Structure 1
Amino acid sequence: MAKDGTNRGGARVGAGRKPKALADKLAEGKTGKVLDLPTPTSIEGREMPPVKDYLKAKQKNGKDLEASEIFEDTWKWLMERGCENLVNTQLIEQYAMSVSRWIQCEECISEYGFLARHPTTGNAIASPYVSMSRDYMKQSSQLWFQIFQVVKENNATTYQGNTPQDDVMERLLRSRKGMN
């Protein structure tokens, strides 16, 4: 405790060695944390939750927001790995919205360029879409790492292959060509 009475210091959040994935523990011959779950009487498939209206909203420029498609793709990807119950739906919605906003900013950069005019002086300045795009990309990457961490820690086999995060650039390139 500091002299002023506040509780400061100590370990920082996220500091230290990261936990190993379940697949890595099993490969080393160690046992992972196994939960004793009750045996279900009947196994039922779980439907994807309905996509919220704000993920399907029309944009000011008249284009559709692609967040609903990203949400569905991510949900299906999680369902294939049996992790749809482990990831909060709001986290998937935030990820989908962030990626769709990043795509929207990239489309504006392609349309308007990297430079803009200052509103009062009229001088050339960096386009605000560039910094917004960077912020949305950073946010979507952080959200994806949270989602993927859940999958990584809860799968007994190492995942190899495409993820919805890998398809983001392809989605951006398709939207530029108008192939959506």
Structure 2
Amino acid sequence: MPTKSNNTGGRGGRRPGAGRKKTAVKEKYENGNPGGRKLEVLDIPDTEGEDMPEPHEFLSARQHDGSTLEAADIYRETWEWLDKLGVAKAVSPQLLERYAMCSARWIQCEEMTTKLGYLSKHPTTGKPIPSPFINIGINYMNQANRLWDEIFQIVKENCSTEYGGANPQDDVMERLLRARKGM
């Protein structure tokens, strides 16, 4: 019987997104700071006139079908929302780009599923199989949701008041619904 080794080949350790989420500073304050540690509130100075970091060109690349990828628009909308809340500098542009790309790819997969249908033909047997765009879309949707959770956790941890308004994640769903209507 093989012995356990410390070399796990990248399979061990903490998984990203696993475990209990951090409690927001506002919640800790309202609950009387149960841990007793000093509450650290980021003092994010007003950054009026601060320019949005330009999204990389691949976020608006021309696609195979001639359309333009919508990731740059999602990036801009999300950054503007974060800037309005005053936490844009707390979220890395790379995290925003990954979120925007996954959201745009998810929308593309949903558009292809709508256009081509839910079934496809197996390449060797010719029998009907589920469209590959369904599983690809599910993977992109899950990645986008995980990335959004990271972004929203940063917002939650850095805002001294609770946020309850509309957010860019709602806009992504609206964009998908508009695409399905052909608008």
TM-score tier by shorter-chain length is: 0.7 to 0.9
**Any conservation in 1 of the 2:25–2:158 contact (CA below 8 Å)?**
yes
Q: Which moved more, 1:45-54 or 1:134-143?
A: 45-54
**Any conservation in 1 of the 2:52–2:79 contact (CA below 8 Å)?**
yes
1:133 aligns with 137
2:92 aligns with 88
Q: How many residues align?
A: 173
1:143 aligns with 147
Aligned residue among 28, 32, 40 for 1:33: 40
Question: Percent of pairs identical after alignment?
Answer: 50
| Aligned AA (2:117) | G
| Aligned AA (1:130) | I
| Aligned AA (2:40) | K
Matched, 1:170 2:141: no
**Structure 1: where are the runs of 5+ without partners?**
none
Q: In 2, Cα distance between the equivalents of 1:44 and 1:170? A: 29
Q: In 1, Cα distance between the equivalents of 2:144 and 2:57? A: 20
Q: In 2, Cα distance between the equivalents of 1:175 and 1:129? A: 16
Q: Per residue, is there more helix in 1 or in 2? A: 2
Q: Residues 106 and 16 from structure 1, CA distance in 2 versus in 1: closer, same or farther, beyond 3 angstroms? A: closer
* Superposed displacement of residue 65, structure 1: 0.8
**Structure 2: where are the runs of 5+ without partners?**
none
Q: What's the secondary structure of 2:129's corresponding residue?
A: strand
Superimposed CA distance per residue, residues 60-109 of structure 1 (whole angstroms, 9 cap, x where no aligned partner) = 11222110110000000110111111111011001001000000000000
1:73 aligns with 77
Superimposed CA distance per residue, residues 96-124 of structure 1 (whole angstroms, 9 cap, x where no aligned partner) = 01000000000000011110001111111
| Aligned AA (1:76) | E
* Superposed displacement of residue 34, structure 1: 3.8
Q: What's the secondary structure of 1:167's corresponding residue?
A: helix
Q: Residues 36 and 96 from structure 1, CA distance in 2 versus in 1: closer, same or farther, beyond 3 angstroms? A: closer
What pairs up with 1:92-103 in 2 under 5 angstroms?
92-103=96-107
CA RMSD of aligned residues (A): 2.4
Q: In 2, Cα distance between the equivalents of 1:16 and 1:128? A: 32
Q: In 2, Cα distance between the equivalents of 1:159 and 1:36? A: 17
Aligned residue among 23, 27, 36 for 1:24: 27
Q: In 2, Cα distance between the equivalents of 1:19 and 1:96? A: 24
